[in-house]
Amino acid sequence: MTDTPVSRCGYVAIVGRPNVGKSTLLNHILGQKLAITSRKPQTTRHNMLGIKTEGAVQAIYVDTPGLHKNNDKALNRFMNKTASSALKDVDVVIFVVDRTRWTDEDQLVLERVQYVEGPLILAVNKADRIEDKSDLLPHLEWLASQLPNAQVVPVSALQGHNLDTLERLVAENLPEGEHFFPEDQITDRSSRFLAAELVREKIMRQLGAELPYQIAVEIEEFKLDGRILHIHALILVEREGQKKIIIGDKGERIKRIGQEARKDMESLFDNKVMLNLWVKVKGGWSDDERALRSLGYSDL
């Protein structure tokens, strides 16, 4: 008679400064694209659960916005508050850092996580891209001295290197208990939320440094008609000039944003998608707490 594996379940916060690869890490652990990614800091604005159930273990990952020093706008305050709140009531914390780089914002995260009482894992991301490996060991030793209770794991979120070790450490540290979610559920977020995030990702990837962060996406219609999913998305910007940038010459840019978002939506929702995009100017929304609440930034 074989022993039945012990059922384990718990929450795992993925924290770090902006742009260290937290969302990429979540996507690779889940084996599918859920969290949006771009090279720009602050791509992630909300906490989002990514649920992975394997046998007796259910790990509920919380992807968080990057903790950063800029607190001057309501949107920035919201993101910092959201990231900090994830450190409460979780069973394991993964602190993601970028190779041997260390910034003031990494220090800010360090100061938050050193008071975490539960298990702490330090994931040194992009370890495969460190050219001089002799730089890595002293840095790992320094990190270990800063966080003596942490388990240190070098990983590559993008390449998937060593994620099995990371997941094993997570599983070992999760409390025993029944699973909170059905085993086929991968997130707590609605399809409308995921659709809006995909459109925002394509805008951020397309526009490089041309567009500041004052863009938001609101899904006005999300309706399945037979085999076709009709999605109408409104892109909010703060100034007329930003609207022109998103639309592009003869509408070329918004067309490309739509094509790329639709492709990802069809893969995520497993349906043919008809996507319509509009751009609207709404001045000052990113510093207007009421406007932010209406756009789903509800924790203000």
For residue range 59-95, list pLDDT tens digits in order.
999 877 665 455 555 545 545 555 556 567 789 999 9
> Is 0.85 topped by the overall pTM?
no
- Pick the closest to residue 17 from 43, 54, 36 (CA basis): 43
Report the distance separating Cα 57 and Cα 177, nearest Å.
9
Which residues line the annotated binding site?
A: 16-23, 63-67, 125-128
Please tell me which of 1-10, 116-125, 254-263 the model is most confident about, judged by mean pLDDT: 254-263
pLDDT at 38 exceeding the cut of 70: no
Report the distance separating Cα 165 and Cα 94, nearest Å.
13
Q: Which domains does the chain have, with CATH numbers?
A: 8-173 (3.40.50.300), 191-295 (3.30.300.20)
Q: What's the pLDDT score for residue 209? A: 62
Q: What is the DSSP string of 273-294?
A: EEEEEEEEE-TTGGG-HHHHHH
pLDDT at 288 exceeding the cut of 60: no
Which tens digit of pLDDT belongs to each residue from 116-169?
778 999 999 988 887 777 777 888 888 889 999 899 998 988 888 899 999 999
Which residues line the annotated binding site for GTP?
A: 16-23, 63-67, 125-128
Which tens digit of pLDDT belongs to each residue from 275-287?
999 999 887 655 5
At residue 100, φ and ψ (nearest 5 deg) are -100, 10
**Are 153 and 169 within 8 A, CB to CB?**
yes
**Are 292 and 275 within 8 A, CB to CB?**
no
Q: What's the pLDDT score for residue 43? A: 47
Q: What's the pLDDT score for residue 65? A: 66
Phi-psi region of 149 (alpha: psi -120 to 50; beta: other; left: phi over 0): alpha
